[in-house]
Amino acid sequence: METSWPGCPEQIWDAVDDDGSDLWVPSPGMLPSWGSPRDLIGKYLVVPAWWQRAVLVIVFLCVAIVAVASGAHRFDWDSYGPFKRVLAVVLVAVIIGGVLGLTGHYIYREVRWRRHRPEVLAQVSETLLDRGVPIWGLFVGTVRLGSRTSGPNATPDDIQFMFDLRVSRERLQRQRAVATAWVDAVAAASGSNVPEDLGEAFRGRFSVHCADVFGEQMRGVWMWRKGSVLPFEVLGLSLTDPRDAEEFSDDDVVFIRKTPRELRRLSRMATS
């Protein structure tokens, strides 16, 4: 059964009059050098930043502190019997044990990463030198995916287009114009920034190859599902070829470590 996409994406390439010549697109030359492991670790995010790796520990620790502090403030030790006292001690022990266990697991992974980092960096560097593909992420803020939610307020997921920068500048501009025109068409037709049929078409998938949606002119361009609580990435290097990959996700890409604010602004779909 074929997926039915809103906005008639298979017709957008021929229907769009604008060739995108006025649209900003990056060039591969904007990517920092990746010729050595030193360049990689200094300029690219080969693994998530330490605070991203430790986010579960930080969140669990904060919840544990609030829970223990709140419980200790309200718990009247003298007014409860032996059973409730034992239960309170057990709960505190479980919370503390959970924090210690999670912290220990995080430390173990960090030590393991430090030990294997030179080998991993050398391998990634060699792979990128042989077949690294420069890519660019275009953030979509006009419509969102409602089939899954993220964040404390159940915010719908975002979409991000990922482009292969090996194509000519003219073709890249045209691809951006087509993606923008389609998103605008979907938003106008639905009257909502969370189109139900778009969420249904994307349901259960992290990434979708645009060649399967728009046609061969968009081969190498992918749509990614992005949690709204996560920052959107812009320029990076793919470890696999997005033109013929069966699956393509952020696990296949290393992004630049520090994205300039202006580059992030220019990589929003609403900006030309």
Q: What pLDDT is recorded for position 77? A: 58
pLDDT, tens digit, for every residue of 145-176? 886 666 555 678 899 999 999 999 999 999 99
Q: What pLDDT is recorded for position 95? A: 79
| Mean pLDDT across 120-139 | 81
Q: In terms of pLDDT, which residue wins out, 77 or 238?
A: 238
| Mean pLDDT across 42-71 | 70
Q: What pLDDT is recorded for position 24? A: 94
Q: In terms of pLDDT, which residue wins out, 53 or 103?
A: 103
| Mean pLDDT across 114-139 | 79
Q: What pLDDT is recorded for position 75? A: 58
Q: In terms of pLDDT, which residue wins out, 78 or 157?
A: 157
| Mean pLDDT across 100-127 | 75
pLDDT, tens digit, for every residue of 82-104? 777 777 778 778 878 878 888 88
Q: In terms of pLDDT, which residue wins out, 186 or 191?
A: 186
Least confidently predicted of 113-117, 171-175, 206-210? 113-117
Give the span between the Cα atoms of 217 and 247, in whole angstroms: 18
pLDDT, tens digit, for every residue of 11-41? 999 888 777 788 999 999 999 887 777 777 7
Across the chain, mean pLDDT equals: 82
pLDDT class of 230 with cuts at 50, 70, 90: confident
Q: What pLDDT is recorded for position 153? A: 59
Q: What pLDDT is recorded for position 48? A: 62
User: Does residue 213 carry a pLDDT above 70?
Assistant: yes
Cα–Cα distance list, 177 to 14, 158, 199, 207, 223 (Å): 11, 19, 22, 20, 15
The DSSP line for 206-270 is SEEEGGGTT-GGGTT-EEEEE-TTSPPP-EEEESS-TTT-S---GGGEEEESS--HHHHHHTBTT
Q: What pLDDT is recorded for position 214? A: 95
With a pLDDT cut of 70, the percent of the chain lying above it is 85
User: Does residue 1 carry a pLDDT above 50?
Assistant: no
Entry field: residues in the chain: 272
pLDDT class of 272 with cuts at 50, 70, 90: very low
- Within the chain, strands assigned E span 44-45, 133-150, 155-164, 207-209, 222-226, 235-238, 253-256
pLDDT class of 47 with cuts at 50, 70, 90: low
Domain ranges of the chain: 9-46+132-266, 50-128
- Which tokens sit at 58? 């930080």
Beta-carbon neighbour count of residue 190 at 10 Å? 16
Give the span between the Cα atoms of 34 and 178, in whole angstroms: 31
